[in-house]
Amino acid sequence: MDYKGAWSTNNRLHKLAAQSSWLCRISQVSRLRKGTTAHRLSSLFPSHLKDNIEQQQNPFAEVKTLGEPSTAGMLLSIITNFMKEFRTVIERKEDQSSSGDRMGFIFHHLFDTSIKNIDPFDPALDMDIRTILYAFSGPTRAMSVFQVVVKQLIARLKEPSLKCCQLVHDEFILVLEELLEKKPAFHRYPTLRARFHSTVVNFLNKAMVPTTKLVSDIVAIKACYINTRHPDFIGGLNATIIVRARMNIAQQHPAPHGSESRIRVHEDGTADVEITKLMIQSYFSILKRDIIDVVPKAIWLNLVEHAAQNLERALVNELYNEEEMDELFTESQPDGGK
């Protein structure tokens, strides 16, 4: 009898049995860990939160549980495709290098230019400043007058800011009409097209309320607190030094018939008027930069981003009604048809 061969075979069998037992234990541990992990994760989330998560992952979950007919499936498909292209348009408009960036043109050309072209000075401003100066006294009266006048001038920033909101809103309407014209389904089903159009327009109109409110508040914030310690603001002392230096130069080089009037500039308040105007010019340039930067961001948050995230659900909520499906998908009649 070959004892060595039998011993070798028996040894291999023992090793295979040990490996098999080890693999079985690993499999059992793996299943146990999976079950334990799933149980622990399930216990961490309340049932209503898990339902909300599932609903967020699938916005049409509620609809699909109803056993939708074919027209309902068509509607959801049309909404999904519409929103896909709608979001693509928004993403393209975020790219400022795009030649078709009409929204960027609104922000970076029309709005930017309208704010930069606002001139705080007009022929009546000097007289207004002089009138207000009479109500103040002391070495800092120019600063006091500056704060009164600049608050009134800030109101001029509101109209172009609200105009920018309206231009973006109107641009969205153009995008809507382009997409409706592009899709064959909207030509085939005119009722669906009309309802789609009215739903999106109503959604955008409602979004304009918080958008214009936020933009108006931004301008109001600038007026309610004048930050005279802004690092870019010239300040009363520097403005005084500059104006005094200019006047000294003017007195050293008088015009033939104007020297006497220049010498009296300190007496009739001209110096304080010029100091006030210099501070207004400095502070208004700061305000313009801030408004040009912040207003487009506010519009993007409350109008553009809001539409990208919530318009799809608004369309589903408004249009998905089993009782109205047949009406929505009534086909257009050929010319002359009844």
Report which of 204, 238, 190, 229 is spatially closest to residue 307, judged by C-alpha positions. Answer: 204
Yes or no: say if 325 and 71 are a contact pair by the CB < 8 Å rule. yes
Domain count across the chain: 1
Q: Which domain holds residue 172?
A: 70-227+289-326
**Within a domain: 262:** no
**Within a domain: 219:** yes
Give the helix/strand (H/E) hosting 290: helix 270-299
Task: Report pLDDT for 47.
Answer: 52
**Within a domain: 252:** no
Block residue for tokens 């955008």: 204
Residue/partner pairs of 78-86 with CB below 8 Å, 24 or more apart: 78/183, 78/185, 78/192, 79/312, 79/315, 79/316, 79/319, 80/312, 81/183, 82/179, 82/183, 82/196, 82/315, 83/311, 83/312, 83/315, 85/179, 85/182, 86/175, 86/179, 86/307, 86/308, 86/311
pLDDT band at 335 (very low <50, low <70, confident <90, very high): low
Question: Residue 130 carries which side chain, given as an amino acid letter?
Answer: R
**Within a domain: 232:** no
Task: Report pLDDT for 259.
Answer: 44
CA distance 164 to 162: 5
pLDDT band at 45 (very low <50, low <70, confident <90, very high): very low
**Within a domain: 137:** yes
**Within a domain: 241:** no
pLDDT digits (tens, 9 = 90+) for 124-176: 788 888 888 888 877 778 888 889 999 989 999 999 999 999 999 999 999 99
Token pair in block for residue 326? 């047949």
Question: Residue 31 carries which side chain, given as an amino acid letter?
Answer: R
CA distance 220 to 101: 30
Q: Which of 36-45, 236-245, 271-280, 309-318 has the lowest mean pLDDT?
A: 36-45
Could you tell me the CATH number of the domain that includes residue 201? Answer: 1.20.120.1240
**Within a domain: 310:** yes
**Within a domain: 60:** no
Token pair in block for residue 171? 């641009």
Give the helix/strand (H/E) hosting 297: helix 270-299
CA distance 63 to 72: 9
